[in-house]
Every structure is written in structure tokens, then in C-alpha cells.
Amino acid sequence: MRKLLDIAGITGAVVTLAALAGARLGGPRVTTAAMTPADGHTIHVVAPHVIAGKVMGPFHHYCKIISPEPTIECLIYHSTDSLAPLVEVEYIVAKTVTRTGLISLADWNKNWHDHQQEIATGRVKVLDVPDSVGAQVAAVVAKTDGIIFHLWPDGSKVPTGQVVIGQSVGHVALTSAAKFMYSKPAGSVGTH
């Protein structure tokens, strides 16, 4: 994981919520050397999503790799303002995981999207790094699928508790052959 982040030239400082709020709101700055799960969301991507049938965004994704397959989590906001509320969470998971029997074809087609197809639309941009590094990040993400949980209804002053599964713009449903391309036939040995 660290190697991929170093290759991409994407590193971030450890900043606690207290330090961020203190700097923004004029209070004391508090820092800690201990890492937290919130640290490391330094891969900055912008892309639109389809929410309840409506194209929205572009949304600012701040992502980090949480396992080597890879599995990546993204905290998603409408803007880059330090006080912008979290409106979505996206999980990005290697196709070697999502395109097996773990998720049914119907559930995949309803809830998941192919990042290779989404990147090919030209709507996804990796920000804050040179284009060559952005291309490296895109090459890794193209081997994944994503699921978006939209948490804050558009125009609402507060989250309502309603969670909507978002979708990529231009989502294409998979065939059974494409969906299960990484599954091993019953009784087979080895990996695909």
C-alpha cells in the first residue's frame, strides 16, 4: 500500500480534526503523531455521479488505499472547502473480488460500476498531481469496480437518514460472462 502511494507521489500530513477546526475557526491547533483511520485520504479525484436518476457534481473524492487488492475508500464532498460536509462514501474494490460469486449479477448491475468504463468517458480527473502520476492512479483504479453511498440529500440542510446508491455517469450493465470473469469454475485449481 505505501509503495503504491509513494510511486504515485501522493503523501499527506497527519492532521487531526481538532487541528483543522482550530486553524479554520481560530482556535488552538492540536496535532498528534498517532495515525487515525481518517489519515491518508490524499488521492484527490473529481467526477460526476448519478443520484436518483439525476447527474450531479462533480464531486471531490479524497481516497486512500486500505488493502492491497486494492480496496480503496473515498470520502466525497461537493467542494474543496475545509468545512464542506461529507455527502458520499465510495468503496473501490478490485474486480478480482467483485467479479466473483460474492455479489450477484443483479446486485452488481444495480449498485456497482466499472471504473475502466467510467474513466474512459473522460469525466474522471485525478487532481493535485502531475498528469503522469494521474495516469498511474487511473491505471490502478481501472482494474476496480465502485459502489457509492449518497448520504446527504441534495438541497437538504441536514442528512435525513435516507441513503441512496449512486451510480457512475454512463454506467453499463455487465453480462454474466463479464461479471464472473474472475470466478473459478467448480472443481478448478489455481487462480485466474
Residue 82 is classified by DSSP as T
For range 10-17, the mean pLDDT: 27
- The residues facing 72 across adjacent strands are 65, 92
Mean pLDDT of the chain: 83
Give the list of residues 6+ apart from residue 132 with CB closer than 8 angstroms, or none: none
Specify the DSSP element, H or E, that contains 97. helix 95-98
Domain definitions of the chain by residue range: 40-179
Residue 28's pLDDT is 54
More confident residue, 11 or 50: 50
Residue 180's pLDDT is 86
Query: Is the predicted pLDDT of residue 103 greater than 50, yes or no?
Result: yes
pLDDT digits (tens, 9 = 90+) for 127-154: 999 999 999 999 999 999 999 999 999 9
More confident residue, 16 or 185: 185
Confidence (pTM): 0.79
More confident residue, 18 or 144: 144
β-bridge pairing 71-77 and 144-150: unpaired
- The residues facing 4 across adjacent strands are none
Least confident range from 1-10, 14-23, 122-131: namely 14-23
